[in-house]
Amino acid sequence: MVEPLNQVECATHGRGTQAFLCQHLIEESSLEFHRDDPTVENPYPDAWCRACEKVRRRAGGWDRLDPTRAPPIRLVCGHCYDNILLRHLSAPPVDLPSRASCMMRQCSWPADAPAIACAPS
């Protein structure tokens, strides 16, 4: 049996599954991104851009990275995750998950905000 996934409250999408992205993916578009393949147990694997991948590799992995030099990682809901990563694809894949059908939004998260704050683009 699959355990329930951690939930977050998104100002745009309501309650959703938590996911983590580097700030560069959230703020920019058309970037190369890195992540593990999604699975049933982890439909929203952590994702980060090429610049963050260079930092991760130089350190020998995320767990060996000095926290003061770590790239900015942000919490998003699963719907925002899908929409944000869609902005970085050069051509839409044929097997997009149905949850990616909601409208794309530019999102930003204040450092002290407990919930995700999204604004329509």
Q: For residue range 66-121, list pLDDT tens digits in order.
A: 888 889 999 999 999 999 999 998 644 444 343 333 333 334 444 443 444 443 33
Sign of CA pseudo-dihedral 111, 25, 77, 46: negative
pLDDT at 95: 45
Chain position carrying tokens 């683009």: 121
pLDDT at 44: 95
The span from the CA of 108 to the CA of 64, in Å, is 27
pLDDT at 56: 93
pLDDT at 90: 67
Contact assessment for residue 65 and residue 38, using Cβ atoms and an 8 Å cutoff: no
Please name the helix (run of DSSP H) or strand (run of DSSP E) that holds residue 57, with its range, or none: helix 50-59
pLDDT at 78: 95
45-80 pLDDT, tens digit per residue, is 999 999 999 999 999 999 999 888 889 999 999 999
The span from the CA of 48 to the CA of 10, in Å, is 20
22-42 pLDDT, tens digit per residue, is 999 999 999 999 999 999 999
pLDDT at 64: 93
Domain ranges of the chain: 7-120
Q: What is the pLDDT averaged over residues 4-22?
A: 91
- Residue 14 pLDDT > 70: yes
